[in-house]
Amino acid sequence: MDEVVSALIDLALVEDVGLGDVTSEYFVPADRMARAMVLGKTDGILAGTEIAKEVFQRVDEETGVNILLDDGSHIAPGAIVMEVRGAARSLLTAERTALNFLQRLSGVATKTAEFVEAVRGTGAVILDTRKTTPGWRFLQKAAVVSGGGQNHRMGLYDRAMVKDNHLVAEGGLEALQAGIKELKEENPGVQVELEVDRLEQMEAFLTLEGVDYILLDNMDNETLAKAVAMRSENGPLLEASGGVNLETVRGIAETGVKYISVGALTHSAIALDLSLEFVNVD
C-alpha cells in the first residue's frame, strides 16, 4: 500500500467516521455478524477493489473480504464484485468510504474504456493527464490502466514537458537545445516533450536533439495529418491534445498520431453505480 494512498484512506475514514458511527453503535447490536455483497448496478469497468478491501479491513481487521472480480473486469447489473463478512457494525461503518473509492475509480476505468474502444484498430494509444483529483493521482492513473489506457507522466518530476508558457521565458532554439542537453546529462532517465501549436514550430523543433515526444496542441485533423507526415521514422513520437471527446477521438486517431491525451478520463468521469447489499444476517 503506497504511503500516499494509505494516508488518503485514513483521511477519508476520519472525515466520515469522526468520533464514531453513532447510528451503528446505538441501533446495531455489537455481537451481530453479517455477510454482504458489493453488486454492480450498471455496465462498466471495475477498478479500486484492493482499495475497497483495505477500507473494510482498516475499519476492522477481522473483516473477511473476498474479491470475486479483478480490476479491469467488465461488470453488468447484478454482478457480484466482492463478498464481505464480519461484525455488522464494522461493515456498515466502512460501507460508504469503500464504495466511494470503488465507484469513482470504476468510473475512471469505464470512461477510459469508452475512449479505447472508440479508437480500436487505429493503433492510437489513449493517455491520461495530470488533471486528477488532488491526492487521488496514483489511484486514478491505476484506474486508467484498468480501463485499457496508458499513463502519461505521473507528475512534474518524471518527464520534462516544455509548453508555451515555458517557451516565453527561454531564448530560442539554441537555449532550448542547451536545456535539453543539460537535463539529459543530469537526469538520464527523464524524457523530454515539446508542445507545438503550429507546423512551423514543429519543423523547427524537429531539428533539435534529445526530443522524445512532440505534443500537437489543439490542431485540426488536417493539420495533425500534415504533422504526422513531417515526422521521420525515428523522430519524436507524436501526441495529440485538446478538443478530444468521444465524438472527435476517432478522427484524431485516424490522422496517424501515436498518442492521444484525454483530461476527461479523470476530471469528467461519472462514478459507476455500485451498492452493498446485506444477506443472511445472523
236, 216 contact by CB (below 8 A): no
158 annotated active-site: no
Catalytic pick from 25, 62, 96, 203? Answer: 96
195 annotated active-site: yes
105, 51 contact by CB (below 8 A): yes
Catalytic pick from 50, 54, 193, 195? Answer: 195
163 annotated active-site: yes
Which stretch of DSSP H or E encloses residue 88? helix 88-118
Residue ranges with strand state E in the chain: 33-40, 44-45, 64-67, 74-75, 80-87, 125-127, 159-162, 191-196, 213-217, 237-241, 259-261, 274-279
Q: Name 153's Cβ contacts closer than 8 Å, sequence gap at least 6.
A: 130, 159, 161
Catalytic pick from 163, 184, 250, 258? Answer: 163
Catalytic pick from 41, 85, 131, 231? Answer: 131
Q: Which residues of 81-117 are buried (b: 16+ CB within 10 A; e: fewer)?
A: bbebbbbbbbbbbbbebbbbbbbbbbbbbbbbbbbbe
131 annotated active-site: yes
For the beta sheet containing 159-162, the strands, ordered from the edge strand earlier in sequence to the opposite edge, are 125-127, 259-261, 237-241, 213-217, 191-196, 159-162
217 annotated active-site: yes
Catalytic pick from 16, 83, 197, 217? Answer: 217
Residues annotated catalytic, as ranges:
96, 131, 163, 195, 217
